Chains A and B, each alone.
Chain A
Amino acid sequence: MSETKALESMIGEEYKYGFTTDIEYEDFPSGINEDIVRLISEKKNEPEWMTEFRLKAYRAWVEMEEPSWFNATYEKPKFDTLQYYSAPKNKPKLNSLDEVDPNIRETYEKLGIPLDEQKMLAGVAVDAVFDSISIFTSFKEKLAEAGVIFCSISEAVQDHPELIKKYMGSVVPARDNFYAALNSAVFSDGSFCYVPKDTICPMELSTYFRINNMNSGQFERTLIIAEENSHVSYLEGCTAPVYDENQLHAAVVELIALDNAEIKYSTIQNWYSGDENGKGGIYNFVTKRGACRGKNSKISWTQLETGSVVTLKYPSVILQGDNSVGEFFSVAVTNKMQQADTGTKMIHIGKNTKSTIISKGISAGRSNNSYRGEVKISKKADNARNYSQCDSMLIGQTCGAHTFPYIESANPTGKIEHEATTSRVGEDQIFYLQQRGISEDDAISLIVNGFCKEVLKELPMEFAVEANKLLGIKLEGSVG
């Protein structure tokens, strides 16, 4: 099946993940205060130090102001009516797949994520997070053989407290920013991955996040640690039902790479993006940061951001170890009334550190798409290098594209290159392809896929086809 054929088969599909799963939820009071934070901790049967971690974060959050420096306008989330914890009533901790609520299993099947290990994509281990609770982590045993720990954060708090204590909050401190502080106080679950020394993780790791409950926020935390000489590739996918109300998603992701370790983190974000008039949709306010702590370590972010009504997200790398490498490959698509303010930060601290930023922004409809990136070379970072390329593509006349690069160098040996282009998918380009027999929608898909090629090729193979389809669907009928 050719690329375009695959796209054709999707034609006419609106947001197909917009269904709701009918299941019973545990009762939990809405709003936020210290008691709520304690209650979350209690529900999860957490040790005292974890409760303290949350309370400190909560107290910090109360003192903080909601930021507004980004290029997006929206109605602020109502923090006092939000539900901060939402879990399906059935027993959350599961020992086998048979114990998963059949409704939830069905949901994941509809999403194309069979939890059934036999049917799964070869070599991909999946952790599924439904609202706040991690439902099941597959391939656990096979990973354990290799010494890789892949489980929910809740389990890790219980089973690997020394690792959590050492690393959680070490890259994104609780006080880092408003949403990170909130997450640190109320985070419900998420994925944890630990790859021991001299280990190449034997399979792709993957987490699927699903927000189902209408009034709940989703605050998951992901923590990935790659010890010396280890390697891991991780992918997250996100979907949510269609609701008129906005839902908040404020996650924190921390990555730690020690000497010679490599972490590749990919995201396909397709939260519900609201309707034509910007009603409903997910607020995607996420803090993602990786620390290249060790020499010669490497962290690579690849993201395909297509959903959410508002996205504020800057996956960053702190290049501490000498010769460490940071990469950011991004495609951000906005259509309808979506607003995205996304980019990265590359902080060079070690010597001979290198970073690459490739950002492709595509705006259509009445959307607004901003790239915001910071490259900082500190005093001691001799011979640091950065290359940034930010390309924007406009489809139609009513959308906007913006680029906000911040460059700061305190070391004269640093080299920073920045390139930026803006192009419009023009009548002539579409006419040219149509003259070659290709329909208007397929022409746009082809042009956009070509535009994003450098980034799409960074996605794990299994997901590259998905990504192509997703781009096609997102921009369906966006011209004329």
Chain B
Amino acid sequence: MLELKNLHAEVEGEGIEILKGVNLKVSKGEIHAIMGPNGSGKSTLSKVVAGHPHYEVTKGDILYNGESILEMDPDERAHAGIFLAFQYPVEVPGVTNTTLLRESYNTIAASRGREELDPLEFDDYIKEKLSLVEMNPDFLERSVNTGFSGGEKKRNEIFQMAVLQPTLSLLDETDSGLDIDALRIVSDGINKLHGDHDAIVLITHYQRLLNYIIPDHVHVMINGRIVKTGGKELALELEEKGYDWLESLETVNGEAK
């Protein structure tokens, strides 16, 4: 579904390289976790896949269902089924959650030749999705992320994911800012949304999320590259040992380069 080939990316116009040759392959039905210390390039990776204009791909390629998406605008990538749950969801004052989601849902539906929903149909549709993340219906009429607590914002991202039904979801530190109950609710929601036809990439610092959402593969990213890949037990090992022992691994690779 998603294949990153020797992906290099830098901050547009500043020449600071952040991704230094990432290789990754994600197939349908899989859950991948990308872990790593602060500043290793995990969040950048998710933004680059989603097409953030702040970053420029200088080398390598991003293949989605076998085709390069480098030339596609962010909205076109969204139409193709790529969803990014933001680490810091953006506030849009004066625009209600319902308004945004109906626009999103219908635009994506239209681009895929699916039927659009009128306001009443849509109302029924989202109310049903609310229960998935145990959110209060009042919340639909509030402005997007405006005045939301950190936890509400994160929950809202997963709610949007439930409404839009993407095929590839990149969840950027969705667990941070959630208390233990919210973490369980959000994780349950993600597990229910996941099936054989979609894939999830979790970006996280902590192993605790992976107690709730069991990954098929765990990757460790350090200094712009994936330095180690393993099964779910790798996460536990990291929890115990930290990243130091891998940083040396990265340095060795760095010198060998």
Contacts and interface: CB of A to CB of B under 8 A. Distances in A.
**Is this pair of chains taken from one and the same complex?**
yes
Contact of B102 (A2, A432, A442, A447): A2
B238 to A, nearest CB: 29
Contact of A433 (B92, B93, B108, B143): B92
A442 B99 CA distance: 12
A429 B83 CA distance: 16
B143 A437 contact: no
B53 A427 contact: yes
Contact of B104 (A3, A427, A429, A437): A437
Interface string A433-467: 11111111010001101111110000000000000
B55 to A, nearest CB: 11
A431 interface: yes
Contacts of A22: none
- Size band of the A side of the interface? 20 to 34
A438 B103 contact: yes
A480 to B, nearest CB: 8
Given A2-B103, A427-B54, A431-B52, A437 B94 contact: no
B74 A446 contact: no
B140 to A, nearest CB: 15
Contacts of B143: 450
Given A427-B54, A432-B90, A446 B95 contact: yes
A65 interface: no
A438 B104 contact: yes
Interface residues of B, number: 33
B153 to A, nearest CB: 11
Chain B interface, DSSP helix/strand/loop, else mixed: helix
A449 B94 contact: yes
A35 interface: no
B162 interface: no
A428 interface: yes
B164 interface: yes
A446 B108 CA distance: 16
Interface in B104-132: 104, 106-108, 111
A437 B95 contact: no
B93 A451 contact: yes
B84 A450 contact: no
B90 A446 contact: no
6 closest A-B pairs by CB: A450-B94, A450-B95, A434-B74, A453-B94, A432-B90, A437-B78
